[in-house]
Amino acid sequence: MNSLFLFQFQEKFSFTPELLTESGKTSYRFRCPGPGVFQCALTGLVFVLAQEAELQYNTVIWDESLVQSAGRTAAGPLFRIESSDDAAVRQLHLPHCETEEALRVDGLLSVVHITDDGMSFLEPLEVSDTHVMVEVPHLSAFGLVWDFVRRFLNISLQKEVQVLLFLRPIDGGKELDVLLLPSNVPLTEVKERHSRSKRIQAPAHCDLIVGKPYKVHCSPGNFKVQPKRSKFRLDYGPNYHPTFQVSLNPIPESVTLTVQDEEGRVVWTYDWNLPGRNVPAEDSIPAEHSVPAEDSVPAEDSVPAEDSVPTEDADPPEDKLLLVRTEFVKRVSDPVLNQLLDKLLELHVINDGEMQSLRKRGRADRARDAIDTVRGKGSAASSVLMEALWELDPHLSTVLRLR
């Protein structure tokens, strides 16, 4: 029985790694407690381990000329992976951005393995709806690639894309940066490159065709959009420049933003309510704390001033939870709290004994003990709680300024 069959039936553990930043570069670190299947919540990478080991990994810049000389082209980020025990990692599953139609093209995807000795290509053990799975000979740099000829013959195939919005102030108004990126680009690294802007939390996913032109339209009003159209290209960093820029001057109360193909068909749309502009000065709410309309998806960190709990982005996750502890206990509902505990148990942040103990308490005590238990487990566990709360109750997460 091969290892792929054995690992298919193991429970997958999702983890949030420790983020390390040096000279503007982000790397990820996590200690896997034993054998099993572990998925990184920030990059989508899945590691299959035979034993306990510490993982450290980061993206590196592709040498496109190197892979193109072998008739391939990049189809995902290139990850350099290291481990405290090189033999511990048996398999690597890399996230792809292929649609169902593209996955039917036999031999389209493979994995490049780049070492100091050169480059080789690994044939997939399996290609799932989300990942390409390969055996790991030894650790170094791994990345997804397309076979250039098969890709060329299927040029009209769509890719799964994320539409990312970043808002920044300019003289007399605001500018909205619109990024069209493959879905397997880590959001963490894009946000790092746009750290001086506020990310707008909007539904992100659509399907686009590589090399086809698209345009952005913003209504109502005559807002300046640059460029007028742009071909969708695969961008795997490191800079993640905007595909389009929209000048919101004067600042509107609401806009409808669309991405359209060359025939004018809408492939993505978002209705967005911006902060009010004409609030009396003594009663005004700073833009960064304003409240979106009820139907809108709030901008990241946008909360009512009277409800907001100040936290600093540089604070460790467990310190952020400590700052919002009182408000969390007061505001979290019983159904959300129960779902949150179920999620924490499922992700192995808390164990069965801790769950049984928490279940016996009233709502407020249960909330208080839950946040204290998770804070005591460190940054990774605290990050998981914050992400889970956002999924279950985005409004509360926004009020607490945990996103």
Q: Are residues 136 and 172 in the same domain?
A: no
Strand pairing report for 158-170 and 198-200: antiparallel
In terms of residue numbers, what domain contains 18? 3-153
Last residue of a domain, one of 98, 121, 153: 153
Q: Are residues 105 and 66 in the same domain?
A: yes
What's 326's domain CATH number?
1.10.533.10
**CB-CB contact of 89 with 139 (8 Å):** yes
Q: What would the pLDDT profile of 225-282 be if each residue is shown by its tens digit?
A: 999 999 999 999 899 999 999 998 888 888 899 999 999 999 999 998 875 443 333 3
Q: Domain for residue 256, yes or no?
A: yes
363-375 and 352-359 helices cross at what angle (nearest 10)? 150
Please state, in angstroms and rounded to a whole number, the distance separating the CA atoms of residues 154 and 384. Answer: 39
**CB-CB contact of 141 with 79 (8 Å):** yes
pLDDT band at 316; cut points 50, 70, 90 = confident
Among candidate residues 229, 210, 100, the one with its CA nearest the CA of residue 161 = 210
Q: Are residues 210 and 88 in the same domain?
A: no
Q: Domain for residue 297, yes or no?
A: no
Q: Are residues 15 and 106 in the same domain?
A: yes
Name the domain count of the chain. Answer: 3
Q: Domain for residue 300, yes or no?
A: no
Cα atoms found within 13 Å of the Cα of residue 312, Cβ hemisphere only: 4
Q: What would the pLDDT profile of 42-65 be if each residue is shown by its tens digit?
A: 999 999 999 999 999 999 999 988
Last residue of a domain, one of 243, 269, 289: 289
Q: What would the pLDDT profile of 168-181 be if each residue is shown by its tens digit?
A: 888 777 899 999 99
Please state, in angstroms and rounded to a whole number, the distance separating the CA atoms of residues 273 and 163. Answer: 18
Rounded (10°) CA dihedral 325, 326, 328, 333: 140
Last residue of a domain, one of 270, 289, 308: 289
Q: Are residues 197 and 338 in the same domain?
A: no
Q: Which residues contact 306 (CB under 8 A, 6 or more apart)?
A: none
Helix (H/G/I), strand (E/B), else coil: 367: helix
Q: Are residues 243 and 359 in the same domain?
A: no
Q: Domain for residue 301, yes or no?
A: no
Q: Are residues 140 and 17 in the same domain?
A: yes
Q: Domain for residue 295, yes or no?
A: no
Q: Are residues 182 and 93 in the same domain?
A: no
Q: Are residues 120 and 221 in the same domain?
A: no
Task: Determine the residue type at 243.
Answer: T
Q: What would the pLDDT profile of 364-384 be if each residue is shown by its tens digit?
A: 999 999 999 998 888 888 888
Q: Domain for residue 296, yes or no?
A: no
Q: How much is the pLDDT for 286?
A: 35
Q: Are residues 198 and 258 in the same domain?
A: yes
DSSP letter for 68, please: H
Please state, in angstroms and rounded to a whole number, the distance separating the CA atoms of residues 190 and 382. Answer: 22
**CB-CB contact of 167 with 292 (8 Å):** no
Q: Are residues 114 and 191 in the same domain?
A: no
What's 144's domain CATH number?
2.60.220
Mean pLDDT of 159-164: 94
Q: Are residues 149 and 12 in the same domain?
A: yes
